[in-house]
């Protein structure tokens, strides 16, 4: 049961990183977009999905709380600052995006707040993941403090994740947009994806210097790890190549950048899991030492586990309703003007 | 301020900020669902106009409620890691159920509710509004179950310092839940209705969009008139059946007496916790006994001296939290009562003075709910899980400087967002529902639209409206 629940939590983490990754990434993209209409278009695209995407983060937190209560009580205080900053950013982001999409002419400060908060959230999340490799002091299951020192590894991972999310964001934009917005997403996305791969390689090598180096002692682990890394690379190369391609010569050129990056993200996360399992936080907090009591695990697996197919359905349904290319004139604001024209014809 | 005070302030700020939004949006989601059903059945443009306008008010409140709620979940571990580790086996799965049965449902359909208008069929729109309101109500249910376990814990055993569930039915359906759940559900429905009534009254006062405003006001006040009297009974039952039986210390602090023997009801007090006396006190004779259902005036209210010093909640917070809720509920009752009288006399849409009163009491339901939560949570102190786990033993051992940073950060962000929200509401209300009128902005729903691929006739005819 421990392993099943651990996999459920890992699944939530992957879903969160892929889905909120793309919408945080589009948010970062708005910072570098000069044309107001395109900026607006990008924000509207995020507005239809961010709420559902962020729900995976809550399920991740609550899944950890119920299934591994000791880990919840240690990891969160251990990552206090980056998580608090990520939360600050997510609040500002959620508030500003709805204010923007419900207002005809939103003040500039809101769009800036949205973009900056997206960037800060992405960096802080990477930072938090990176800090999982630093030592937490635990006495009798109670967190008593963290190992000090300059947090260089979290910074490296924070930058990597910020670039990775941005690449996902551009890939999603290429998939969902048309015209010049798609062209610029393709151009920028290709560059960001290549930078991400380089940063990813740096993170991979430099993790050896942390308190939680890769554990590839058994051949099984080493083989799985390197296999997954190969997958990740293949995904990234596919994405980088297809960012450049046009749909008239390659019909799948809009889908493959996003699909490739999703493969990369999933494979990388699995690779890190394989190389650390069952360790959660160094030196000694493991999955088995933190697992909740039997009655709790049964309740979780039945109550929440059985609901997971259903929530995947909701998630799919919400994305499907807004499937296909997302068009500017479908936005609620633009609709007014289009319609006034339409009703005049009548 | 010590670490524990900082962490408590941070939590109090977060929950108060969060609670403001569900107090508006839960009731409003049900309202939207009813309005859309009426539009779908009658095809009257005014209902589509109502749906579109109230949705604007709903959307931003919903988003702010979601993000602030997310923070609460994280704070259970960030600032209250020991609480998180000890109660996780029971409260974790309950909140988990909230996430899968409420949050994902809301998240799956909110996008359609907000942006689907014109892209999807009427049925899909309607189902989405229903799903979103079911989500908000289920969310209320699970949260009340989790919080009620902290008030009257049962169905657990203690293993290695953790509270381990032995009987899930008992742990979810606690004695406190039985009363607090209906109390809260009624509260959010009423505060949502009062909020809608207040904004509608503004248009009546200003002589704008009367068809829109009259219908909104009428529905909202009808709901309030039905629910407020029930709520007064449920609230009384909650005090009598939960506080008296399980949390006498909370009741003593609510009543505002230190010594036993007062048969009056304290209407105003400035308590001095350290000296265990009230600096100033105004007490209405006989009323305390009467509230305890003894009209002879002989039953005295117990004082906080009955509770050992270390187990006493802060009287000022509990007393004033309750007074805020109680005095606000008197306004609510007055609104409900006057609306029935005016309705029977056929003057509900005419009485300008009443509309002005309703406009000024727009946020009164939210005040009542916040007051109620202060009573409930401050009155539970010094325990975080009543009788089991002290708040001081549940706090994460963080550097106070770090927590100070986060308290300041949250305070600033909440303040800015609250101001932005109020500015947005005022701005939206001033623009008004005119732009949402389907005679200006047609219904784009497939089957009802000129742009539709099917050759369905245009459903909106001008004479319906004028």
Q: Give pLDDT tens digits for B264-298.
A: 888 898 998 888 888 888 888 888 887 877 778 78
The whole-number pLDDT of residue A132 equals 86
**Average pLDDT estimate for B394-413:** 90
Residue from B11, B57, B87, B108 whose CB has the most chain A CBs within 10 Å, to mutate: B108
Mean pLDDT lowest among B294-303, B380-389, B400-409: B294-303
Instruction: State the pairing for strand pair B265-272/B277-284.
Output: antiparallel
Q: Where are the alpha helices (DSSP H) in B301-399?
A: 315-344, 352-360, 364-378
Q: What angle do CA B142, B148, B153 make, to 5 degrees?
A: 120
DSSP-assigned letter for residue B24:
H
Alpha-carbon gap, residue A293 to B171, rounded angstroms: 15
Smallest Cβ–Cβ distance between A314 and the set B108, B124, B405 belongs to: B108
**Sequence-separated (6 or more) residues with CB below 8 Å from residue A179:** none
Residues of A in contact with B62 (CB under 8 A): 98
**Average pLDDT estimate for A192-199:** 89
Residue of chain B with shortest Cα separation from A71 = B85
Which long-range contacts link A111-117 to residues 24+ away (Cβ below 8 Å)? A111/A30, A111/A39, A111/A43, A112/A31, A114/A27, A114/A30, A114/A43, A115/A27, A115/A28, A115/A30, A115/A31, A116/A31, A117/A27, A117/A88, A117/A89, A117/A90, A117/A92, A117/A93
Alpha-carbon distance B417 to nearest alpha carbon in chain A (angstroms): 7
Smallest Cβ–Cβ distance between B77 and the set A73, A145, A340 belongs to: A73
> Residue B95 and residue A66: Cβ atoms within 8 Å?
yes
> Residue A314 and residue B104: Cβ atoms within 8 Å?
yes
Smallest Cβ–Cβ distance between B68 and the set A65, A91, A142 belongs to: A91
> Residue B88 and residue A92: Cβ atoms within 8 Å?
no
* Short-list B36, B110, B103, CA closest to A48: B110
Residues of B in contact with A314 (CB under 8 A): 104-105, 107-109
Are A20 and A56 a contacting pair, CB within 8 Å? yes
Alpha-carbon gap, residue A65 to A67, rounded angstroms: 6
> Residue A62 and residue B74: Cβ atoms within 8 Å?
no
The whole-number pLDDT of residue A341 equals 31
Which range scores top for mean pLDDT: A130-144, B211-225, B236-250?
Answer: B211-225
**Residue B435 forms contact with A (CB below 8 Å):** yes
| B249 vs A276: which has the higher pLDDT | B249
Alpha-carbon distance B69 to nearest alpha carbon in chain A (angstroms): 9
Alpha-carbon distance B433 to nearest alpha carbon in chain A (angstroms): 14
**Is the bond into B131 cis (omega within 30 degrees of 0)?**
no
Residues of B in contact with A308 (CB under 8 A): 100
Segment 105-134 of chain B within 8 Å of chain A by CB? 105-112, 114-120, 124
Mean pLDDT of chain A: 84
What count of other Cβ atoms lies within 10 Å of the Cβ of residue B420?
Answer: 19
* Short-list B6, B10, B7, B25, CA closest to B369: B25
Mean pLDDT lowest among A75-84, A316-325, B185-194: A316-325
Alpha-carbon gap, residue B427 to A23, rounded angstroms: 28
Mean pLDDT lowest among B279-283, B355-359, B364-368: B279-283
**Average pLDDT estimate for B99-113:** 87
Mean pLDDT lowest among A86-90, B13-17, B119-123, B290-294: B290-294
* Short-list B104, B109, B138, B97, CA closest to B32: B109
> Residue A55 and residue B117: Cβ atoms within 8 Å?
no
- How many helices (H) and strands (E) chain B has is answered by 17, 6
> Residue B417 and residue A91: Cβ atoms within 8 Å?
yes
Per residue in B406-465, pLDDT (tens digit) is: 999 999 999 999 999 999 999 999 988 888 887 765 555 554 543 333 333 334 433 333
* Short-list B36, B432, B441, CA closest to B210: B432
Per residue in A212-257, pLDDT (tens digit) is: 788 888 888 888 888 998 998 898 888 888 888 887 777 787 888 8
The whole-number pLDDT of residue A85 equals 94
Are A124 and A89 a contacting pair, CB within 8 Å? yes
> Residue A304 and residue B435: Cβ atoms within 8 Å?
no
> Residue B424 and residue A99: Cβ atoms within 8 Å?
yes
| A208 vs B254: which has the higher pLDDT | B254
> Residue B70 and residue A310: Cβ atoms within 8 Å?
no
Smallest Cβ–Cβ distance between A58 and the set B60, B70, B93 belongs to: B70
**Average pLDDT estimate for B349-377:** 92
Alpha-carbon gap, residue A192 to B268, rounded angstroms: 64
**Token couple for B363:** 């946020």
DSSP-assigned letter for residue B380:
T
Smallest Cβ–Cβ distance between B93 and the set A66, A102, A314 belongs to: A66
**Token couple for B101:** 């049965």
**Average pLDDT estimate for B148-159:** 92
**Sequence-separated (6 or more) residues with CB below 8 Å from residue B457:** none
The whole-number pLDDT of residue B188 equals 95
> Residue B166 and residue A311: Cβ atoms within 8 Å?
no
Alpha-carbon gap, residue B262 to B269, rounded angstroms: 14
SS3 content of chain A, % helix, strand, coil (to 5): 75, 5, 20
**Residue B159 forms contact with A (CB below 8 Å):** yes
Residue of chain A with shortest Cα separation from B103 = A55
> Residue B89 and residue A296: Cβ atoms within 8 Å?
yes
Label residue A342 by pLDDT band (50, 70, 90). very low
Residues of B in contact with A305 (CB under 8 A): none
Smallest Cβ–Cβ distance between B85 and the set A103, A141, A330 belongs to: A141
The whole-number pLDDT of residue B465 equals 36
The whole-number pLDDT of residue A25 equals 92
Residue A47 predicted with pLDDT over 90: no
Label residue A206 by pLDDT band (50, 70, 90). confident
Residues of A in contact with B408 (CB under 8 A): none
Instruction: State the pairing for strand pair A279-281/A285-286.
Output: antiparallel
The whole-number pLDDT of residue A149 equals 63
The structure's pTM equals 0.87
A–B interface: beta-carbon pairs under 8 A: 263
Residues of A in contact with B418 (CB under 8 A): none
* Short-list B462, B386, B398, B390, CA closest to B176: B386
* Short-list A143, A51, A123, CA closest to B70: A51
Q: Which residue has the tokens 């609250």?
A: B418
Residue of chain B with shortest Cα separation from A342 = B450
The whole-number pLDDT of residue A346 equals 26
**Average pLDDT estimate for B86-99:** 92
Label residue B237 by pLDDT band (50, 70, 90). confident
What count of other Cβ atoms lies within 10 Å of the Cβ of residue B453?
Answer: 8
The whole-number pLDDT of residue B461 equals 36
Residue from B10, B18, B56, B81 whose CB has the most chain A CBs within 10 Å, to mutate: B81
> Residue A84 and residue B77: Cβ atoms within 8 Å?
no
**Burial grade of B305 (CB within 10 A; 0-12, 13-18, 19 or more):** middle
Which long-range contacts link B351-359 to residues 24+ away (Cβ below 8 Å)? B352/B204, B352/B205, B355/B201, B355/B204, B355/B205, B355/B217, B356/B201, B356/B205, B358/B197, B358/B198, B358/B201, B358/B217, B358/B221, B359/B198, B359/B201, B359/B202, B359/B205
> Residue B420 and residue A95: Cβ atoms within 8 Å?
yes
Are B124 and B171 a contacting pair, CB within 8 Å? no
**Average pLDDT estimate for A120-137:** 89
Label residue A86 by pLDDT band (50, 70, 90). very high
Using DSSP, state whether B90 is helix, strand or coil. helix
**Average pLDDT estimate for A12-20:** 91
The whole-number pLDDT of residue B445 equals 57
Alpha-carbon gap, residue B21 to B63, rounded angstroms: 9
Per residue in A136-181, pLDDT (tens digit) is: 888 877 888 787 666 788 899 999 999 999 999 999 988 888 888 8
> Residue A73 and residue B420: Cβ atoms within 8 Å?
no
Are A116 and A103 a contacting pair, CB within 8 Å? no
What count of other Cβ atoms lies within 10 Å of the Cβ of residue B333?
Answer: 16
Smallest Cβ–Cβ distance between A321 and the set B56, B68, B116 belongs to: B116
* Cα–Cα distance list, B83 to B68, B89, B389 (Å): 20, 11, 8
Residue A330 predicted with pLDDT over 60: no
- How many helices (H) and strands (E) chain A has is answered by 14, 4
The whole-number pLDDT of residue B444 equals 55
**Sequence-separated (6 or more) residues with CB below 8 Å from residue A331:** A40, A41, A44, A101
Residue of chain A with shortest Cα separation from B427 = A103
Which ipTM score applies to this complex? Answer: 0.84
Residue A125 predicted with pLDDT over 80: yes
**Residue B67 forms contact with A (CB below 8 Å):** yes
The whole-number pLDDT of residue B191 equals 95
Residue from A112, A293, A323, A335 whose CB has the most chain B CBs within 10 Å, to mutate: A293
Residues of A in contact with B409 (CB under 8 A): 84, 88
Radius of gyration of chain A (CA): 21
> Residue B100 and residue A59: Cβ atoms within 8 Å?
yes
Residues of B in contact with A103 (CB under 8 A): 424, 427
Smallest Cβ–Cβ distance between A65 and the set B64, B84, B119 belongs to: B84
Label residue B129 by pLDDT band (50, 70, 90). very high
> Residue B81 and residue A303: Cβ atoms within 8 Å?
no
**Residue B60 forms contact with A (CB below 8 Å):** yes
The secondary structure of A18-72 as a DSSP string is: HHHHHHHHHHHHHHT---HHHHHHHHHHHHTTHHHHHHHHHHHHHHHHHH-HHHH
Residue of chain A with shortest Cα separation from B409 = A88
Supply φ then ψ for residue A306, to 5 degrees. -70, -25
Label residue A183 by pLDDT band (50, 70, 90). confident
The whole-number pLDDT of residue B449 equals 42
Label residue B196 by pLDDT band (50, 70, 90). very high
Q: What angle do CA B124, B125, B128 make, to 5 degrees?
A: 85
Residue of chain A with shortest Cα separation from B164 = A293
Residue of chain B with shortest Cα separation from A142 = B82
Residues of B in contact with A336 (CB under 8 A): 435, 441
* Cα–Cα distance list, B337 to B291, B333, B345 (Å): 21, 6, 13
The secondary structure of A309-326 as a DSSP string is: HHHHHHHHHHHHHT-SPP
> Residue A88 and residue B107: Cβ atoms within 8 Å?
no
């Amino acid at each position: 049961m421990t392993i099943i629940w651990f996999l459920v939590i890992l699944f939530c983490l992957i879903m969160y990183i892929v889905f909120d990754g793309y919408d945080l990434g589009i948010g970062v993209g708005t910072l570098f977009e000069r044309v107001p209409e395109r900026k607006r278009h990008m924000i509207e695209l995020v507005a239809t999905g961010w709420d559902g995407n962020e729900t995976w983060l809550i399920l991740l937190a609550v899944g950890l709380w119920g299934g591994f209560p000791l880990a919840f009580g240690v990891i969160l205080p251990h990552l206090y600052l980056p998580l608090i900053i990520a939360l600050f950013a997510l609040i500002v982001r959620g508030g500003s995006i709805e204010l923007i999409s419900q207002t005809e002419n939103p003040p500039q400060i809101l769009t800036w707040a949205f973009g900056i908060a997206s960037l800060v959230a992405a960096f802080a999340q990477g930072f938090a993941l990176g800090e999982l490799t630093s030592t937490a002091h635990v006495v009798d299951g109670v967190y008593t403090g963290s190992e000090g020192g300059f947090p260089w590894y979290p910074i490296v991972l924070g930058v990597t994740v910020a670039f990775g999310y941005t690449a996902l964001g551009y890939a999603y934009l290429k998939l969902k947009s048309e015209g010049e917005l798609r062209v610029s997403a393709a151009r920028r996305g290709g560059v960001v994806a290549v930078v991400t791969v380089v940063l990813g390689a740096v993170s991979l090598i430099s993790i050896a210097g942390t308190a939680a180096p890769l554990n590839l002692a058994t051949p099984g682990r080493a083989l799985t790890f390197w296999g997954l890394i190969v997958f990740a690379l293949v995904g990234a190369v596919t994405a980088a190549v297809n960012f450049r391609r046009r749909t008239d010569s390659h019909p799948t050129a809009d889908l493959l950048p996003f699909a490739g990056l999703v493969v990369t993200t999933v494979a990388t996360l699995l690779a890190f899991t394989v190389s650390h399992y069952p360790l959660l936080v160094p030196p000694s907090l493991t999955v088995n030492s933190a697992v909740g009591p039997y009655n709790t695990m049964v309740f979780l697996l039945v109550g929440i586990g059985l609901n997971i197919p259903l929530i995947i359905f909701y998630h799919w349904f919400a994305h499907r309703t807004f499937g296909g290319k997302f068009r500017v004139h479908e936005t609620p604001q633009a609709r007014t003007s289009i319609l006034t024209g339409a009703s005049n014809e009548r | 301020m010590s670490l524990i005070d900082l962490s408590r302030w941070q939590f109090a700020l977060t929950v108060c900020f969060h609670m403001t939004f569900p107090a508006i949006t839960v009731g409003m989601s049900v309202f939207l669902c009813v309005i859309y059903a009426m539009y779908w059945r009658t095809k009257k443009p005014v209902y589509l106009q109502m749906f579109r306008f109230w949705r604007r008010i709903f959307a931003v409140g919903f988003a702010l409620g979601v993000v602030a709620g997310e923070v609460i979940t994280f704070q259970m571990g960030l600032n209250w890691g020991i609480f998180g580790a000890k109660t996780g086996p029971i409260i974790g799965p309950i909140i988990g159920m909230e996430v899968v049965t409420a949050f994902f449902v809301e998240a799956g359909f909110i996008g359609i509710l907000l942006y689907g208008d014109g892209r999807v069929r009427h049925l899909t729109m309607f189902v989405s509004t229903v799903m979103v309101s079911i989500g908000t109500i289920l969310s209320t249910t699970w949260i009340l179950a989790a919080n009620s376990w902290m008030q009257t814990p049962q169905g657990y055993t203690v293993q290695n310092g953790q509270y381990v569930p032995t009987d899930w039915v008992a742990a979810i359906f606690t004695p406190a839940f039985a009363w607090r759940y209906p109390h809260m559900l009624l509260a959010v429905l009423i505060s949502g209705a009062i909020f809608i009534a207040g904004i509608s009254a503004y248009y009546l006062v200003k002589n704008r969009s009367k068809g829109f405003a009259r219908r909104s006001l009428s529905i909202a006040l009808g709901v309030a008139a039905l629910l407020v009297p029930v709520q007064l009974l449920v609230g009384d039952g909650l005090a009598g059946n939960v506080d008296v039986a399980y949390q006498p210390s909370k009741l003593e602090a609510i009543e505002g007496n230190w010594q036993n023997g007062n048969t009056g009801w304290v209407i105003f007090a400035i308590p001095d916790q350290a000296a265990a006396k009230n600096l100033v006190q105004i007490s209405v004779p006989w009323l305390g006994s009467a509230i305890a259902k003894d009209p002879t005036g002989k039953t005295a209210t117990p004082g906080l001296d009955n509770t050992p010093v270390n187990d006493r909640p802060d009287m000022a917070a509990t007393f004033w939290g309750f007074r805020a809720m109680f005095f606000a509920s008197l306004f609510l009752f007055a609104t409900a009562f006057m609306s029935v009288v005016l309705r029977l006399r056929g003057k509900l849409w005419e009485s300008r003075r009443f509309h002005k009163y309703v406009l000024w009491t727009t946020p009164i339901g939210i005040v009542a709910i916040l007051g109620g939560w202060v009573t409930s949570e401050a009155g539970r102190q010094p325990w975080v899980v009543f009788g089991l786990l002290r708040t001081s033993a549940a706090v994460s051992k963080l550097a106070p400087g770090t927590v100070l940073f986060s308290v300041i950060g949250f305070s600033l962000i909440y303040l800015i967002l609250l101001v932005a929200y109020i500015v947005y509401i005022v701005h939206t209300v001033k623009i008004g529902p005119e732009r949402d009128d389907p005679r200006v902005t047609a219904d784009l729903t497939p089957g009802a639209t000129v742009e539709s691929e099917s050759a369905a006739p245009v459903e909106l005819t001008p004479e319906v409206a004028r």
